[in-house]
Chains A and B, each alone.
Chain A
Amino acid sequence: MASSSTAEYTYLMPGTTPLGLGELTRVSVRDAARNARQPVATYETDVQLVEILPELQLSYVQDLHGTRFAVDQDTEFHTELRAGVTYRALVNAEGYALRISRLPG
């Protein structure tokens, strides 16, 4: 049986960038465990509704770059979410929409 080896790894310092950065970089659990947990970065972006999964009480919004964010009962809504409408969302690097509101102006 093969096992992973730390020898081949180059190291990523995650936590401040979206998950996709450092695509081919691997981190071993042992090394990652030495890191103190950093706050997950948040930022604002414009999104549209792309999918509603009522059975799971989940929806997904997506920005212009194709990055998706989950929306659930804990997302703070300042507007009603409709398909085809662009909203301003506060999202985090783990793919979760914290707040959704109308575009300003």
Chain B
Amino acid sequence: MAFVLPALNALPVPAQFGAVREPPVLTWTTTVAIPNFSDWQVGDLVLVKSDGSTMAKIIEGVQGSLQSSQPPTGDPEWTHVALYVDQGLVIESVPRRGIRYCPVQEYAQTRELRVRRLLRGGAPITPKEGTDLIHEASRYFEQAYSYWAIARHLFMQMAIPNADQFFCSSYVAVVHTKALKVTLDQLAQHRPLLPATLVNHPAFADLDLEWRALI
């Protein structure tokens, strides 16, 4: 939604700028909106689209290059994945900080989100299963992020890394396997398991995101 400040627009244009200058129109986009977390469930997968940072561009490039050789991965612009905890928080593995809790709001204001829920036997996981997932996820709190793990995963096609070698999607894979005995990279077309792989992964269903405005 765009707002226009009519009062500013009504200001007279100083004579020195001449008649050729149009009156200024000040517009901006409101970002005061938050996801409607009441629909979200503990253990949901939260995918985050690239913010254009150097790291995101590298991930995007890697995912894009894999797309040509190893289809079908998803849209390479999805460069990060986290797990929804509760109360607007996710747990995730990020460079420099390792595994941490983070408010979804940190992403929601500037980046596109997608929320997906694991299916078991054709039905979404229960809150109890989601809680088991997050309970397992929290065991690795503050474990370091590993660039080496990404390289190892990409070039050596290892299933998942060691416990001290996480990156965002491998962390999600480990937690699913340990907590629910679900192997997300079970099939060859899901290896390497990267955020873009999880965008279209058939083990998950999509949540229709709803937003509410903060006034």
Contacts and interface: CB of A to CB of B under 8 A. Distances in A.
Nearest to B71: A23
Contact of A24 (B159, B200, B203, B210): B200
13 contacts: A1-B209, A2-B112, A5-B208, A18-B186, A19-B202, A25-B202, A29-B117, A32-B123, A38-B122, A56-B163, A56-B178, A67-B187, A96-B181
Contacts of A27: 119, 205-206
Contact of B121 (A29, A38, A60, A70): A38
A18 B186 CA distance: 9
Contacts of A103: none
A17 B179 CA distance: 22
Q: Which of A18, A21, A58 is most buried by chain B, counting CB atoms within 10 A of its CB?
A: A58
Contacts of B182: 94-96
Interface in B169-194: 174, 177-178, 180-190
Chain A interface residue bracket vs B: 35 or more
Nearest to A13: B122
Contacts, number: 148
B81 interface: no
A28 B189 CA distance: 22
Interface residues of B, number: 45
B72 interface: yes
Contacts of B200: 23-24, 26
A3 B122 contact: no
Contact of B190 (A20, A40, A50): A20
Given A23-B200, A70-B183, A29 B124 contact: yes
B213 to A, nearest CB: 12
B120 interface: yes
A37 interface: yes
Contacts of B177: 58, 70, 72, 95
B179 to A, nearest CB: 11
